[in-house]
Homo-oligomer: A and B are copies of this chain.
Amino acid sequence: MGVSKTEIFTKQQNEIAVFMKAFSHPARISILQNLFEKDTCVCGDLVKEIGLAQATISQHLKELKLLGLIKGKVEGTSVCYCIDEAVWKHMKTLLNTFLDHDIKNQDTCC
């Protein structure tokens, strides 16, 4: 994309953007929803469930794992993925500081 100038923004602004980017693709939304609903902990199940190539799902899982939102446990030849509760809570708190702003000056402008 051309380099984002992260250095001119605050740590918090960059961190919010990074989490939001993790959620900016419907495949990753679907993966996380599946993990919440359980049963489909395993990579292969997600591939069947979602309908993208195995390599693609694996790549999306890697991104979520890199951010810490999910963790994987090897079980034989398959891998079980789960949400990391602590990171998820941290993320939610962070995003809410941004989303829960009050809208002022609704009358004085626009």
Contacts and interface: CB of A to CB of B under 8 A. Distances in A.
A66 interface: no
Contacts of A24: 17, 20-21, 24
Interface residues of A, number: 49
Q: Among the interface residues A85, A98, A100, A103, which one has the most CB atoms of the partner chain B within 10 A?
A: A103
A25 interface: yes
A70 to B, nearest CB: 9
B25 A4 contact: yes
Given A30-B13, A109-B82, A92 B99 contact: yes
B26 A17 contact: yes
B41 A26 contact: no
